[in-house]
Amino acid sequence: MTIENMEEIMKTSNKSKVWKIFVSSTYEDMIPFREAVLDAITGLEQSPIGMEHFVSSSEKSLDVCLSDVRRCNLYVLLVGMRYGSIDEETGKSFTELEYEEALRNNIPVLPFVIDENECPVLPKFVDDGSNAEKLRDFKKRLNSSHLVSRFKSADDLKQLVIRSVEKQIQQAVEKETEDKITSSNEDVLGIDIYRKFILLPERYKNKIISLRIRIDGTYGSWQQRDDLFLAYGLAPGDTLRINDVTPLGVELSDINSGNAGMDLFAEGKMADWILDTGVTRRSVVEGKFKLLYENVRNITPTGDAKIAALLIIEGKKVINPTK
């Protein structure tokens, strides 16, 4: 990878992206704390999502909450001294169900729990009985699954949220940058290996590489010879074949142009993916491909021949031509 490419990746990754951050808690007892958190999030130029922004709807309130959780990028959980409204069907609070929805959708969770020894709480905002027991169990669950921050006041909570959200976003940006650099490196390596495969197919066959290819040919029909599929260990009748695809970015000016393109095969789920994404002539397909080179029976007028081909094993992206 060139320095210019890496700089471009860094610029793209660091472009400001507004995060949707769901703020989950009970309400009446947590109003000053929620205000502090919403202020912290907007101060970071991110977008808070919470019950303060709800409008009238024909949907159930719990369904609205869970839907909002699913569309957020980060889930901030505030836990005080109340367990909250209970869902009759599950026996769990709305807050705990929102938490579970975040986990189910692999959304990062930042939990903040009140410091019971330092933060004053009005008696009317302290649960007792079965709800207090459920709250203790919920806090234990959080402590065993996360690094939990404890807040002593609304101002203390605001500073904790600012630091935690900033760190979470920075880690995400660094991960995105790292993934893009890795992907770009894989592409460069794939291009290099493909060129070597054209020249030394026996040595490089069966390697799996990342490539972008252009579809220059057409689909083969059911009338194709079974030998063409069996040679590569593929199932006739359950494998797509597209003749003449060209890998992009491969330097072939010093190689016989007749060796530039080759057939593409797709079997099983990848065959479905090719069809479902509308791949056609002039489409560009990005993914991972296995390099094939095997003896195919009766493929030429004079008999057998070794033929190179590509097998797609992971589809990442398709750019179809505009009509």
> Looking at the structure, do residues 160 and 247 belong to the same domain, yes or no?
no
CA proximity to 127, closest of 83, 162, 161: 83
Q: Is residue 170 part of a domain?
A: yes
Contact (Cβ atoms closer than 8 angstroms) between residue 152 and residue 118: yes
User: What's the confidence (pLDDT) of residue 10?
Assistant: 42
> Looking at the structure, do residues 162 and 29 belong to the same domain, yes or no?
yes
Q: Tens digit of pLDDT for each residue in 190-201?
A: 888 998 999 999
pTM of the model: 0.57
Q: Tens digit of pLDDT for each residue in 267-315?
A: 999 999 999 999 999 999 999 999 999 999 887 788 888 999 999 999 9
Contact (Cβ atoms closer than 8 angstroms) between residue 13 and residue 176: yes
The boundaries of the domain holding residue 109 are: 3-176
Paired residues of 74 in beta bridges = 21
> Looking at the structure, do residues 39 and 131 belong to the same domain, yes or no?
yes
Residue 155 has pLDDT above 90, yes or no: yes
> Looking at the structure, do residues 126 and 61 belong to the same domain, yes or no?
yes
Q: Is residue 183 part of a domain?
A: no
User: 222: phi > 0 → left, psi -120 to 50 → alpha, else beta; which?
Assistant: alpha
Give the three-class secondary structure for 258.
Answer: helix
Structure tokens at 206: 């069966």
Helix (H) or strand (E) holding 314, with range, is strand 303-319
Average pLDDT score over residue span 119-129: 92
> Where does residue 222 rank: exposed (0-12), middle (13-18), buried (19+ CB within 10 A)?
exposed
> Looking at the structure, do residues 139 and 225 belong to the same domain, yes or no?
no
> Looking at the structure, do residues 9 and 41 belong to the same domain, yes or no?
yes
Q: Which of the four pLDDT bands, split at 50, 70 and 90, describes residue 183?
A: low
Q: Which of the four pLDDT bands, split at 50, 70 and 90, describes residue 257?
A: low
DSSP state of 320: P
> Looking at the structure, do residues 171 and 212 belong to the same domain, yes or no?
no
Please state the domain count of the chain: 2
Q: Is residue 193 part of a domain?
A: no
> Looking at the structure, do residues 34 and 168 belong to the same domain, yes or no?
yes
Q: Which residue has the higher pLDDT, 186 or 214?
A: 214
Least confident of 1-15, 125-139, 152-166, 284-298: 1-15
Give the domain-ending residue among 161, 176, 191. Answer: 176
Q: Is residue 192 part of a domain?
A: no
> Looking at the structure, do residues 229 and 137 belong to the same domain, yes or no?
no
Q: Rounded to an integer, what distance in angstroms lies between the CA atom of residue 289 and that of residue 206?
A: 9
Q: Rounded to an integer, what distance in angstroms lies between the CA atom of residue 274 and that of residue 267?
A: 10
> Looking at the structure, do residues 164 and 24 belong to the same domain, yes or no?
yes
> Looking at the structure, do residues 107 and 212 belong to the same domain, yes or no?
no
Give the domain-ending residue among 176, 192, 222. Answer: 176
Q: Rounded to an integer, what distance in angstroms lies between the CA atom of residue 56 and that of residue 177?
A: 40
> Looking at the structure, do residues 153 and 89 belong to the same domain, yes or no?
yes
